[in-house]
Chains A and B, each alone.
Chain A
């Protein structure tokens, strides 16, 4: 266990150290001449209008929810795929049923227009 994950931990520490180190160092050596206009959000050179904390299209939320539903079903398929050859025909039929249910939901979502971006 530790054999496998100690290298990953080390790599994470190095990667995090690199990212923050570079950002902090550059802040220390970089120029600093802040002004109000410079620190305002970019809006093509015009004074910014309103806040960016606004509502955006519900489509994105729907996509996120669909992703969660489908992704969990995909994750269920990983252990099945790894064991597939030893499960044989039984495993294939079981997963066939599973995929069929997945497809029913997929067809419903498609027909209801949740995948449209007009």
Chain B
């Protein structure tokens, strides 16, 4: 590893060293606000350095890419970390969650996600995945006075461990079959191979697919999602729902765009996964009476839709998927930020009974929530619509008509439950109680998210142009 390698890794180094420094500082000074501010500054510095410093080498130590695609996601995840810290600022002070630990774990997670999105090597992929998953294991259970959070942490830990096992075995099998861990290389050699080894290699890819399925909660590996989302503190859920899933999808897109079609033999399987996931999410959400669980099922549906874009394996599909990831991250983070901003001594508003009539008590934030929910549903003029449209368009061009139909069906069903929440918010209810007014930080995040949803909905070309340039 040379100096130019280190320079190319600058954003990651800033995030990681900043996180370590804040962790250490937090052990000596318990004052949360300076630590949070330091964390936000570190995250913004990471984003800035990824945007401004041109990496001198295209690849870092043969493990991670330093190209435009990697830098794009590094910026996105750094900003996400900053947003996560801002959303969590009031929350962790009130719940007495260790500020040093929270800030540093969020930054470590962001570093892991950024590495994951830029992995070009199976070992790099594994390390990066573990980096942010480990951070999330702790973050989810960080509210130590809450039994639900402990349950959620344990569930995520156990399933995460299983997924890690699948990942490691899959990587081992691919290495055994192709003799390489470098991604384009491994795929090429696997394709050239026609004997028994190819079967082992495919089994390896299948296992990686299962691991990915656990991480981004594809049906039938999605059952942990609602419980974990419900138990975890809302700011953490916001990160978990967006970053941890988006980074895995980003890694998939990056790998496939680099190495060409791998999944010719697995296409049917992925097709089935995508269809199942969209339907499982949509139907699962229908019966929910808890907003966090509903958002969990909604994220399952969205992961299914994203998988459609990945499945296309065309540049159109990859661009659409990338756009979708950005939009989903912004929207979903905003929705959880609303929940976090309302949380007070009683906890977070979760059940529909608690939400009924809240639109009259907190009109601005409920209005934002409605906007975000409609974007998640895919209402025209919001970013969600453009994202869904792009993915379905790509699917149409690649000839996945059946999947397209299922996707549209799932979207229609989703409209039902998103509208149900919207109506609930503005039902007159005398008994509706007031929740917390929210802090400046939280309102900033909400403002940024809602305006991003509107801007991307009206002018999607801005982002699409950038994405087309950076796709590997």
Q: Is A104 an interface residue (CB 8 A)?
A: yes
Q: Is A85 an interface residue (CB 8 A)?
A: no
A-B contacts at CB below 8 angstroms, number: 10
Q: Is A83 an interface residue (CB 8 A)?
A: no
Q: Is the CB of B20 within 8 A of A111?
A: no
Q: Is the CB of A104 within 8 A of B24?
A: yes
B20, B23, B27, B28 interface centre (most CB from chain A within 10 Å): B27
Q: Which residues of chain A are within 8 angstroms of B20 by Cβ–Cβ distance?
A: 104
Give the docked Cα–Cα distance between A14 and B24 (Å): 52
Give the docked Cα–Cα distance between A53 and B85 (Å): 42
Q: How many residues of A contact B (CB 8 A)?
A: 5
Question: Interface code B7-35, partner A: CB below 8 Å = 1, 0 otherwise?
Answer: 00000000000001001100110000000
Q: Is A20 an interface residue (CB 8 A)?
A: no
Q: Is A117 an interface residue (CB 8 A)?
A: no
- Give the residue name and chain of the B residue nearest to A109 (CB): B27
Q: Which residues of chain B are within 8 angstroms of A107 by Cβ–Cβ distance?
A: 24, 27
Q: Is A32 an interface residue (CB 8 A)?
A: no
Q: Majority SS of interface residues in chain B?
A: helix
Q: Is A108 an interface residue (CB 8 A)?
A: yes
Give the docked Cα–Cα distance between A111 and B27 (Å): 6
Give the docked Cα–Cα distance between A108 and B101 (Å): 11
Q: Which residues of chain B are within 8 angstroms of A112 by Cβ–Cβ distance?
A: 27
User: Closest approach, in angstroms, between the C-beta of B296 and any C-beta of chain A?
Assistant: 30
Give the docked Cα–Cα distance between A2 and B27 (Å): 52
Q: Which residues of chain A are within 8 angstroms of B24 by Cβ–Cβ distance?
A: 104, 107-108
User: Closest approach, in angstroms, between the C-beta of A23 and any C-beta of chain B?
Assistant: 38
Question: Interface code A83-118, partner B: CB below 8 Å = 1, 0 otherwise?
Answer: 000000000000000000000100110011000000
Give the docked Cα–Cα distance between A26 and B28 (Å): 59
Give the docked Cα–Cα distance between A108 and B23 (Å): 8
A104, A108, A111 interface centre (most CB from chain B within 10 Å): A108
User: Closest approach, in angstroms, between the C-beta of A84 and any C-beta of chain B?
Assistant: 20
Give the docked Cα–Cα distance between A111 and B20 (Å): 14
- Give the residue name and chain of the B residue nearest to A112 (CB): B27
Give the docked Cα–Cα distance between A104 and B19 (Å): 12
Q: Which residues of chain A are within 8 angstroms of B27 by Cβ–Cβ distance?
A: 107-108, 111-112
Q: Which residues of chain B are within 8 angstroms of A104 by Cβ–Cβ distance?
A: 20, 24
Give the docked Cα–Cα distance between A111 and B100 (Å): 13
A interface vs B, CB < 8 Å?
Answer: 104, 107-108, 111-112
B interface vs A, CB < 8 Å?
Answer: 20, 23-24, 27-28
A sample of 10 cross-chain residue pairs with beta-carbon separation below 8 angstroms, ordered by A number, consists of A104-B20, A104-B24, A107-B24, A107-B27, A108-B23, A108-B24, A108-B27, A111-B27, A111-B28, A112-B27
Having A104-B24, A107-B27, one finds 8 other A-B pairs with CB under 8 Å, namely A104-B20, A107-B24, A108-B23, A108-B24, A108-B27, A111-B27, A111-B28, A112-B27
